[in-house]
Amino acid sequence: MRHGVVARRRSLLLRSMPLVAVLALMACKGPEPPRSRAQFSLQAPTQVRFQDQATYQSTLESISNVALAAEIDGRIIAMPMQEGQRVKPGDALFTLDQEQQQAQVNASAAEARKDRVNAERYIFLNDAGAVSTKDRDYYVTQAIESADKLRADAATLGYKQVVAPIAGEVGDIQHKLGAVVKEGETIVNIVDNSTLWVRLDVPAELAYRVKPGLPVTLRAPGSPELIAEGAIDFIAPSLDRNSQTLLVKASFENPERTLRDQQRVSATLSFGANTLWSVPVGAVLLQAGQTFVFTAVTPAQAQKALERPLEPKPKRGELVALQVPVTLGLPQNGRYPVFKGLEPSSKVVMGSLAQLRSGMVINTGSQAKP
């Protein structure tokens, strides 16, 4: 009986030996290297022609915008102009009554006549020795001052009718027919929108590249549609001391009057075009204000860059991810120009980049493609 039990135990031990050996072998192999379940593709940087440009937010301003104000107190008694009307120099805009001014002129004229008569009489009496030279000079001075005042008051009569000083469009009329206005009050603006300009505050680091004639294009903010093309025609002789920017002005012809004074625009200054290495926008990560891409490298390259061994060790022929900082320009047509950080032979990883970490095995069945 005992001999049979021993035999059965020996048989069970022999049958269990292969399983123990397999488990021991698996323990010796170690854990699998980390890998993402997502599948990625690889791309090599490609050369693309980029426009070398800078964009600024600005406001269109008409080159000619004249505010017309009342030069005397008065009531508006005529107003042939209408809002939006096109006018030319000399066209009548509005007329003020001048009853008060005419009354003042009449009074000044009477005073001037009286003072002239007194001056002539005292000159005669002084010549006869009847009055002193001091008295004569007093009345002569009075006559001169009265004549000057009459001329000044009479000049105000020329302010009765206000005409357009420039060609343009009548803007918002701020006082209507019959209104009483004070001297200096603005009645209307005449705006010439045939040519407009924008101000661009160019940073000091770009100031040396600005030249007269460089093209500037306009778009509505947030819209890709081009609305006007112009060129730089003014460059300030010095930078602003506080902001360290250079004032630049670009003008735009506006024959159809589609642009308006005080219209907000996005202005793009073009310095030229360059052929640069580039990567797709989808290949770029932004972390803490720094831009990165993932490249696919051999385990040896990753280990050297990371300055640590890869644990666990990837299999032969596998590529691993390496996060690389890059210096980029502004994107155009879905691609970033690369100024620093990549080589033309780099394999750039595309896909769900949030799932990647440096040293992780890349799951891809495709090869790098241009």
69: which 2 tokens?
Answer: 């104000």
Higher pLDDT, 125 or 107: 125
122: which 2 tokens?
Answer: 């005292």
Q: Tell me: do 94 and 180 sit in the same domain.
A: yes
The domain boundary residue, chosen from 166, 186, 206: 186
Which pLDDT tens digit goes with each residue over 210-244? 999 999 999 998 887 889 999 999 999 999 999 99
312: preceding bond cis by omega (within 30 degrees): yes
Rounded to whole angstroms, the Cα distance separating 78 from 90 reads 16
Which pLDDT tens digit goes with each residue over 167-178? 999 998 888 888
Q: Tell me: do 261 and 112 sit in the same domain.
A: no
Which pLDDT tens digit goes with each residue over 242-256? 999 999 999 999 998
Give yes or no for residue 104 having a pLDDT over 80: no
- Alpha helices (H) in 85-220, listed in sequence order: 99-127, 133-155, 204-207
Write b or e for each residue in 356-368: b if 16 or more Cβ atoms lie within 10 A of its Cβ, otherwise e.
bebbbbbebeeeb
For residue 198, give the nearest of 52, 53, 55 by alpha carbon. Answer: 55
Model-wide pTM > 0.75: no
Give yes or no for residue 22 having a pLDDT over 50: no
Question: Is residue 155 in a domain?
Answer: yes
Helix axes 99-127, 133-155, angle to 10 degrees: 160
Question: Is residue 312 in a domain?
Answer: yes
Mean pLDDT, residues 206-211: 92
Q: Poorest-confidence range of 66-80, 195-209, 271-285?
A: 66-80
* Residues 348 and 295 sit within 8 Å (Cβ to Cβ): yes
Q: Tell me: do 181 and 214 sit in the same domain.
A: no
Q: Poorest-confidence range of 27-41, 71-85, 90-104, 247-261?
A: 27-41
Domain span at 200: 54-63+192-274
The domain boundary residue, chosen from 131, 160, 186: 186
CATH number at residue 175: 2.40.50.100
